[in-house]
Amino acid sequence: MAAIVLLSDRFPDDVLPALGSAGFDVKSEPLAVASLADALDLSPELVLVDAAENPGQGHAVLRALRQTEGRTPAVAVVERRDLERFAWDQVADEVLYPSAPEAEIRVRLSMLRRRAGTGDGSTVRLGPLTLDTDTYQVTVAGRGLDLTYKEFELLRHLASRPGRVFTRPALLREVWGYDFYGGTRTVDVHVRRLRSKLGPEHESLIETVRGVGYRAADL
């Protein structure tokens, strides 16, 4: 199941630059009313609609989504200058500006999910792997894992974006932070420890992309 479906004709990073680091599982579909059936087949908890580049088209898609059976909560991504051009409050459950920082995206979407009863955003799942971001508990096939904080954060970062490849420098920057001066070997060491704790039957959940970096298996 996709936690969030983004309806847009652009790449997610062009719609909401901070979305990729907010920890949500995002799938994309074209910005069109005809895309709604495929989008809803993914059973998303939320639908993000890119109304920033084409407000009229975005509003039309949101209006159509509003009329679907078993309506899925919708978020309109709009530019500030377009906020009063359309009645967004009649077709969307929440509004985000393209410049919204990671923390704002995470808080707003998690609050909307909670209001909608679709989950609190605190659980990340990857096949047999489950991470609880509130309690920092991790289980794989029901077996608990004892992880350090950075091991947990690295695993969460990868598992939240299955199939997406991250270079070692990118992981250093996004997991350890801009002020971390360690070498890329730090990433390799942590991946090796994670695989050891996952065990031989589940170590393949973290895949090596030769010459590039690492990714979580896209299950």
Q: Over its length of 219 residues, how does the chain's per-residue pLDDT go in tens digits?
A: 457 899 999 999 999 998 887 777 788 999 999 999 988 887 788 899 999 999 999 999 999 998 886 678 899 999 999 999 999 999 999 999 999 998 888 888 877 877 766 555 577 888 899 888 877 889 998 899 999 989 998 999 899 888 889 999 888 888 887 555 667 789 999 999 999 999 999 999 999 999 999 999 987
Single pTM value for the model? 0.56
Domains defined along the chain, listed by start? 4-116 (3.40.50.2300), 123-216 (1.10.10.10)
Cα atoms in the Cβ-side hemisphere of radius 13 Å centred on 149:
2
Instruction: Supply the DSSP string of 22-74, one letter for each residue.
Output: TT--EEEE-SSGGGHHHHHHT--SEEEEE-SS-HHHHHHHHHHHHTSTTPPPE
Interval 19-55: pLDDT, tens: 887 777 788 999 999 999 988 887 788 899 999 999 9
